[in-house]
Amino acid sequence: MAERRTAYDVLIIGSGLAGLTVALQLPEHLRVAILSKGTLTEGATPYAQGGVSAALDAADSVEAHVADTLDAGAGLNDPETTRFVAERARSAVAWLVDQEVPFSRINPGAGTEGLHLHREGGHSHRRVVHAEDATGAAISRSLSGLVAERANIDLLEGRYAVDLITGARLGEATNRCYGAYALDAASGDVELISAPFVVLACGGASKVYQYSTSPYAATGDGIAMAWRAGCRVGNLEFNQFHPTCLYHPQERSFLISEAVRGEGGYLRLPDGERFMHRFDERGELAPRDIVARAIDYEMKRLGAECVYLDISHRPAEVIEERFPTILQRCLELGFDMRTEPLPVVPAAHYTCGGVLTDRAARTDVPGLYAVGETACSGLHGANRLASNSLLECLVFGAEAARDIANTPLPGRIPQLPPWDESRVTDSDEQVVVSHNWAELRRALWNYVGIVRSDRRLERAARRIDLLAREVHEYYSHFRITGDLIELRNLIGVAELTVRCAGRRRESRGLHYTLDFPGHDPGQAANTVLVPARPRPFGSLRARGGG
């Protein structure tokens, strides 16, 4: 296959809010590439229904936002980072308003004045800025349009990042990042993209679970690539399960927004009884980890396939005004939330852990940044507060752009080796990839889900080890595909998740284990895994990026 090389100043892997924020806030003299597995708007951002949390109401405050975030995070948030983000929330929303994102308003005032604010679970005030119930889609449309107009930004769609190129892999003493290999899905060619600054904005890893609200692109690519490149990762035991995914065979990933409960929705058992008050005094407005565990408990206790989310007691015009997208999709599936409850179940939703970063979004590898769900910034701790995810993307996307702009470009980039396919062939057994993908996701759902135990984790570890060996053998002998790249990354993140979960000998936040059901104040520290130094390319069997 023909080798293709491309050189940029900044390579951004991922086209969601985190990546677009970095791209738009970088100086226009820098040449920037945005790598996207699909089209520019196929990341997780368009699926975000809720909004961006910010203390804008006169009755609210930065202190209250910080307190709510720390409470949800169960003592593992970094307090300074949490305040750092909360203090920048107003300016982050103002930046989106300046980009003409069409937020919902209660009056046509300019700037951030007059914005309508939702209240969501875990928040003590109304502070969620939104665009009806399709905030992520509105943000994505606005920012994607602006990115497409920038002459200094190239959009590389249909590309799968394969691996990062670093100094250690070139045999250098300093493990600096110099770029990445990327598969062009249309041609099958692997491109060498050099860049002295690389930003991982690849999203999370929720697709490691059988049931998930995330798009299919959420396969942990950034976390897995960063680990292989020599970055520490942390807190991967904290996988957030959204409590209310619509229970329907045709829509296994359709999320019913947190804001439905924020606007007065009740959770009910199949017989109509409300139950959340038995688990938390905040009822339906308790943080997501508490609500998801409560639903999981009741479903298992009753042998029920689902519970029900009921907002039919609210005026129909309120539902039509505030949840038009959810209402329309539910009507298409045969449910009218204005007159009847919706069947819901928990589903994997968000990866609270990830690649360890500082407040400039820098990782352990010089020149490599991680932003958004890929990163473990210190904001979320053991459980993410609703609508802090888009805020995190905005704040740290801006910080990454600022740090890159203030860092001089390196004097030289060494000669980078081309992708080596000299000892691989085309596979005639693609079924191996699909079968292993399904087996991995079932194992994580069954053994590393909402409720865990040592025995379940051991079972998961054994299955992951077998799958990892099989996929490594497959990867070493056959030409890569997008599905194989994603499966390799999912297996890597699954193994790291089980390791993190096994180290936490308590129940805290999103990690609940039957063997240690209590909260241990002595374990109020992040779970951090440290990788071995990456091997030089020359020591690998089949290819430069293996």
Overall average pLDDT of the 192-210 stretch: 95
Residue 1 — very low, low, confident or very high, per pLDDT cuts 50/70/90?
very low
Overall average pLDDT of the 401-414 stretch: 92
pTM for this one?
0.91
Residue 48 — very low, low, confident or very high, per pLDDT cuts 50/70/90?
confident
Length of the chain: 546
Specify if 418 maps to a domain: no
My answer on whether 490 and 468 are in the same domain is yes
Q: Which of 406, 421, 451 marks a domain boundary?
A: 406
Overall average pLDDT of the 373-396 stretch: 96
State the average pLDDT for the chain.
91
Quote the pLDDT of residue 538.
57
My answer on whether 300 and 315 are in the same domain is yes
**Is 2:192 a contact under the CB 8 Å cutoff?**
no
pLDDT (tens digit, 9 = 90+) per residue, 321-350? 999 999 999 999 999 999 999 999 999 999
My answer on whether 209 and 318 are in the same domain is no
CATH code of the domain covering residue 484:
1.20.58.100
Overall average pLDDT of the 488-497 stretch: 97
Quote the pLDDT of residue 4.
55
Closest CA to 89 of 403, 404, 393: 393
My answer on whether 489 and 402 are in the same domain is no
**Letter string b/e over residues 230-256, b meaning 16 or more CB atoms within 10 A of that residue's CB:** bbbbbbbbbbbbbbbbbbbeeeebbbb
pLDDT (tens digit, 9 = 90+) per residue, 276-317? 999 999 999 888 888 999 999 999 899 999 999 999 999 999
Residue 546 pLDDT > 60, yes or no?
Answer: no
For residues 462 and 3, the model is more confident at: 462
My answer on whether 58 and 124 are in the same domain is yes
Residue numbers annotated as active site:
288
CA distances from 536 to 170, 172, 178, 347 (A): 5, 9, 14, 40
My answer on whether 336 and 366 are in the same domain is no
Distance CA 209, CA 446 (A): 9
Q: How many domains does the chain have?
A: 3
Q: Name which of 113-122, 249-258, 507-516 the model is least confident about.
A: 249-258
CA distances from 199 to 195, 230, 372 (A): 10, 15, 10
Quote the pLDDT of residue 540.
44
Closest CA to 45 of 317, 390, 322: 390
Paired with 153 in beta bridges are 32
Q: What is the span of the domain harbouring residue 39?
A: 4-237+352-406
pLDDT (tens digit, 9 = 90+) per residue, 123-139? 999 999 999 878 988 99
Quote the pLDDT of residue 5.
61
